[in-house]
Chain A
Amino acid sequence: MNACFEFRFPNDVLERYAMGKVSHLEYGPLEEHLILCAACRKRLMHMEEFISVIRVALMELDSHPEARISAQSAFAL
């Protein structure tokens, strides 16, 4: 068991994998890990869903710029 309490591959790496942008050096070890690790497969699934949702939402905002202002005051981050 690792001494640190963390995932072997952090979210940034999984996100780059989901977007097809991991380096060749990372690819092999990450995919071998994904074959064995259900927890990381679940994280990747959520990551991919988030990416597809945000892409559609950003495209919609891009094609209807007026929608950006209408709900600006909904809440602030």
Chain B
Amino acid sequence: MLATRGIFASGAGEGANDPQTIDSVAQSLADIVDCQTADTVSNQVNWQDLVERIHKGDESGMEELYRLFGRGIRYYLCRQLGHQELDDKVHDTFVIVVQAIRRGELREPDRLMGFVRTVVRRQVAAYIDEAVHSRRDELNLDLGVRVADRRRDPEQTAAFRQKVDFMLEVLRSLSERDREILTRFYLDEQSQETICREMDLSETQFRLLKSRAKARFGEVGKRRLQKNPLISVSLRTSSR
């Protein structure tokens, strides 16, 4: 129950009747319902029938395939590769999935979801490979360059800077020890087990520190946004 624990632990007592707190709890509960609905949908889809329709070239099969996986594939590709030529990449992925099904390469229709994921991962690997090779050939760049185009426009940069400032405010309010714990985890990427052992922490104390930092980050953000609604507009625009 980590997710719900996070919701309630961070705001227990103080501010529990605050309309914003109620809104945020309601939103989290709605998200949980959506999450469970996604699992229910995947259990209810007749994969055999769907694969058969695609195999026969039935358009309804292709539509359903797109409806089920379109957004997820787009998100995955965008997360790994950035926005550049995203529509083309999504389209290519669907073409590969559909052609493979038509050739009868998917022997177990129940594994369609795993098959789609495998195709997407292969696509990502292929795009990265291609990008690294073409960049090395054309520009003689290091192999360590990021493939995803994650450049932000000026508005997004300003919004990100504001969030970093909110976070600095939160971090400065913490004890040296708490900051060290967060630094070890987020910056040095030490495991939870190592941190807990070396800093004499229980798993619960470790999780509580992280969830408090997240909750406080959200509170500072909201407080600043209330003071300056213009920031709010800028943040909302940049998060689209």
A45 CB → nearest B CB, Å? 8
**Residue count of chain A within 8 Å CB distance of chain B:** 49
Q: Given A11-B2, A36-B72, A55-B187, A61 and B38 touching (CB < 8 A)?
A: no
Contact B187 A58, beta carbon cutoff 8 Å: yes
Produce 1/0 per residue, A1-24, CB < 8 A to B. 110111110111000000101000
Task: State which of B100-108, B134-142, B206-214 sits at the interface with chain A.
Answer: B206-214
Produce 1/0 per residue, A25-62, CB < 8 A to B. 00010011111111111110000011111111111111
| Complex interface: chain A residues within 8 A of B42 (CB) | 36
From A1, A28, A57, B40 is in contact (CB under 8 Å) with: A1
B228 CB → nearest A CB, Å? 18
B31 CB → nearest A CB, Å? 4
Contact A5 B172, beta carbon cutoff 8 Å: no
Closest to B45 in A: A36
Contact A11 B35, beta carbon cutoff 8 Å: no
Contact B39 A7, beta carbon cutoff 8 Å: no
**Residue count of chain B within 8 Å CB distance of chain A:** 56
Contact A28 B117, beta carbon cutoff 8 Å: yes
Interface centre among B121, B163, B178, B216 (most CB of A within 10 A): B163
Roughly how many angstroms separate A51 CA and B183 CA in the complex, as a whole number?
11
B155 CB → nearest A CB, Å? 15
| Complex interface: chain A residues within 8 A of B183 (CB) | 58, 62
Contact B167 A19, beta carbon cutoff 8 Å: no
Contact B39 A2, beta carbon cutoff 8 Å: yes
Contact A76 B173, beta carbon cutoff 8 Å: yes
Tell me which residues from 163 to 200 in chain B have a Cβ below 8 Å from any Cβ of chain A: 163-164, 166-169, 171-174, 176, 178-179, 182-183, 186-187, 189
B15 CB → nearest A CB, Å? 14
Roughly how many angstroms separate A39 CA and B41 CA in the complex, as a whole number?
14
Roughly how many angstroms separate A45 CA and B3 CA in the complex, as a whole number?
15
Roughly how many angstroms separate A51 CA and B164 CA in the complex, as a whole number?
11
Contact B68 A36, beta carbon cutoff 8 Å: yes
Known: A34-B72, A36-B41. 17 other contacts (CB 8 A): A6-B32, A7-B31, A8-B35, A28-B114, A31-B76, A33-B39, A35-B120, A37-B38, A38-B38, A41-B75, A43-B31, A50-B214, A50-B217, A54-B186, A56-B164, A58-B186, A74-B173
Q: Which residues of B contact A (CB under 8 A)?
A: 1-4, 6, 29-32, 34-42, 68-69, 71-73, 75-76, 113-114, 116-117, 120-121, 160, 163-164, 166-169, 171-174, 176, 178-179, 182-183, 186-187, 189, 207, 212-214, 216-217
